[in-house]
Amino acid sequence: MSGRDDGAVDGSPTDDGEGRDLDPDAEDGDGVDNWDETVAEWDREVDEWEGDAPDDIDGGDGTGAADGGGEGDPNGVDGGGEGGPDGVDGGGEGGPDGVDPAVDRDPDLNPDDADRVPKVVSAGHINWDVTIHVDRLPEPDGETRIERLEQSGGGSAANVAVGLVDLGGQSVVYGSVGGDESGALALRELASAGVDPGQVLVDADEPTSVKYVIVDGGGELLMLANDGANESFSAAGLDRDTLAAADHLHLTGQQPETAAALATAAAEAGATRSFDPGRRVADREFDAALHASDVLFLNDREADALAAETDVDPWEPDDRVVAIKLGDEGATVRTPHGSVSHPGFDADPVDTTGAGDAFAAGFLAAALREPEITGDGFSHDPRDYQVPILVGNACGAVATESVTARTDLSWDRVRERMGDSPETDLLIEVRA
């Protein structure tokens, strides 16, 4: 499970470490040819692998020890035939266990060995959440008993900032709260979690946004909220030295003009950008911020709405990376040159609030520590997102089993959720 809570400067590495040009958007006019050559090289590597395959591997009818592209392997993983849960093709003939040879069979999840600790500015809503658990939601004029009530910090920007710190990153949160007790509690909780709240605007004339989250026995929810002070901040209020020191800017729901200005300032400062606009993506004029973002985070409903209402097609992006959360069906990462999908991890959900924020935190924590992914903007090579999608799905699954919008993420919990060989469920499609 990845979780689903209702989140344009092109760039990809120009070399993969083996002398192959991976920049399809190069301005020398021959970027497409270079990409075709790269895909052809991958095909040659697959052919070489097949030539060394053990004799007891059946490559066609699925009756041998594993299927290289027919009915599937003993684990039920297709090696490149009919495709994944969203119609994504496996991308190759399949390995000895039916896994696409392009899949990283031993994903690196040792953040302590990373060369850098990413610093992220997370901008958007900072709320105080009141989470109410009931057996079932009442009918109109009905009544139901409150089984559990919890209060905690919330808001997408704050949730992602905390998740990134949990996973070894550095976070600055930028947004606004009211000059009331709820605002003070929200800021105190952020500071206790290791997030820098020094840039947060305190608007004494407005109340802090309080969100009432009502969760039924199946983990489904409805929300009641006031806007309060959560969009009182503007782009001009963010210290430019703070932004210049950041590796990445993550935007969540906010005024469209604020998001656009922040994304533009981050681009000028050399920071990469991501945007999780939330459920109002089709109702607000986010075009400028969408086009200025390297990575978009959406759920499937938001992706459909965006495709219908704007010129951005999240399912077939032509100039950015899009991570689409599919709830209990996992997630898919779409790039201009292909996609990688994963069906998610088993979970026993009690509250899906914040699961999408946990997915974004996990995805960014894994991607931002890899220079080959983000060294020159975000890579458009779908193979680069094998680990980020696994980590994002694991974090989303963990979050659904927590009572509030925030959960304690850690690399140990990620590894535990992923198990021994999660990469066997990855499905990769590479497009020329």
Would you please indicate which residues are annotated as catalytic (active-site) residues? Answer: 357
- Reduced to 3 states (helix: H, G, I; strand: E, B; else coil), residue 374 is helix
Q: Which amino acid is at 164?
A: L
d(CA 105, CA 97): 11
Is 339 in contact with 396 (CB distance < 8 Å)?
Answer: no
d(CA 71, CA 79): 9
CA neighbours closer than 13 Å in the CB half-sphere of residue 118 = 31
Is 362 in contact with 14 (CB distance < 8 Å)?
Answer: no
Encoding tokens for residue 272?
């990469």
d(CA 322, CA 98): 27
Rounded to the nearest 10°, the torsion over CA 85, 91, 93, 95 is -80
Q: Which amino acid is at 242?
A: T
Is 253 in contact with 277 (CB distance < 8 Å)?
Answer: yes
DSSP string across 24-78: TT-TTS-HHHHHHHHHHHHHHHHHHHHHTS-TT-BSSSS-SSSBSSSS--TTS--
d(CA 432, CA 419): 33
Helix (H), strand (E) at residue 149: strand 146-154
Encoding tokens for residue 140?
């109109």
Cα angle for residues 235, 158, 118 (degrees, 5° grid): 80
- Reduced to 3 states (helix: H, G, I; strand: E, B; else coil), residue 215 is strand
Helix (H), strand (E) at residue 171: strand 170-174
Encoding tokens for residue 315?
């399912």
d(CA 395, CA 190): 19
- Reduced to 3 states (helix: H, G, I; strand: E, B; else coil), residue 170 is strand
